[in-house]
């Protein structure tokens, strides 16, 4: 399993569009990508925004999901981490956990970040387990910060601090 940077190409755009336009796949995302139709302009903005690093999760040269760092802050040395497995047959095989661990390495080695955080809907138990398995700790919550299935739910905040700093 490895991470391949997403580029501004037609092939990469088409793969991203398939997954970002699928509401079942994106229902746990914390951004506008959860509710909007993915288009070429959004793709270009995500790829060219220096506060984002987006990657395909690749297994045996096949794209199975997406992962990334958003809101990269080089002053305070932090970023939000996210991930999704778009290929249903590849879920529950620890690929997302592996992707999170690789993102931690990129965050520390390439970007010199100190803290990564994730926002998780309180209903998304599998994501909480994944983050804990990857060394993230529960850090708090945003009350009623996530609207799903007609109800407001809490966002749980998980964070990871570079052990060389902590």
Model-level pTM? 0.93
> Is residue 166 a part of any domain in this protein?
no
CATH number at residue 113: 3.40.630.30
How large is the average pLDDT for residues 35-63?
93
Rounded to 10 degrees, the C-alpha dihedral 157/163/165/166 comes to 60
How large is the average pLDDT for residues 103-108?
97
Q: Which two tokens stand for residue 163?
A: 């052990």
Distances (CA, A) of 64 to 55, 58, 89: 11, 6, 9
Contact (Cβ atoms closer than 8 angstroms) between residue 79 and residue 104? no
Contact (Cβ atoms closer than 8 angstroms) between residue 78 and residue 113? yes
Q: Closest by alpha carbon to 156, among 133, 124, 126, 116?
A: 124
> Is residue 90 a part of any domain in this protein?
yes
Q: Closest by alpha carbon to 28, among 99, 86, 102?
A: 86
Contact (Cβ atoms closer than 8 angstroms) between residue 62 and residue 85? no
> Is residue 72 a part of any domain in this protein?
yes
Q: What is the pLDDT of residue 114?
A: 98
> Is residue 75 a part of any domain in this protein?
yes
Q: What is the pLDDT of residue 166?
A: 63
How large is the average pLDDT for residues 112-128?
97
For residue 19, pLDDT over 90 is answered with yes
- Indicate the number of domains in the chain: 1
Give the domain extent around 59.
2-161
> Is residue 92 a part of any domain in this protein?
yes
For residue 35, pLDDT over 80 is answered with no
């Amino acid at each position: 399993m490895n991470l391949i940077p997403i580029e501004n190409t037609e092939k990469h755009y088409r793969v991203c569009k398939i997954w970002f336009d699928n509401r079942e796949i994106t229902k746990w995302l914390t951004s506008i990508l959860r509710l909007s139709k993915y288009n070429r302009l959004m793709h270009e903005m995500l790829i060219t925004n220096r506060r984002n690093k987006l990657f395909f999760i690749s297994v045996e040269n096949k794209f199975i999901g997406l992962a990334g760092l958003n809101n990269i802050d080089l002053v305070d040395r932090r970023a939000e981490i996210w991930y999704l497995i778009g290929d249903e047959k590849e879920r529950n095989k620890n690929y997302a956990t592996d992707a999170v661990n690789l993102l931690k390495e990129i965050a520390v080695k390439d970007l010199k970040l100190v803290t990564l955080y994730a926002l998780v809907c309180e209903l998304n138990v599998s994501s909480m387990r994944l983050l804990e398995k990857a060394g993230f700790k529960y850090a708090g919550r945003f009350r009623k910060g996530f609207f799903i299935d007609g109800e407001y739910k809490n966002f749980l905040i998980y964070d990871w601090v570079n052990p060389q700093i902590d």
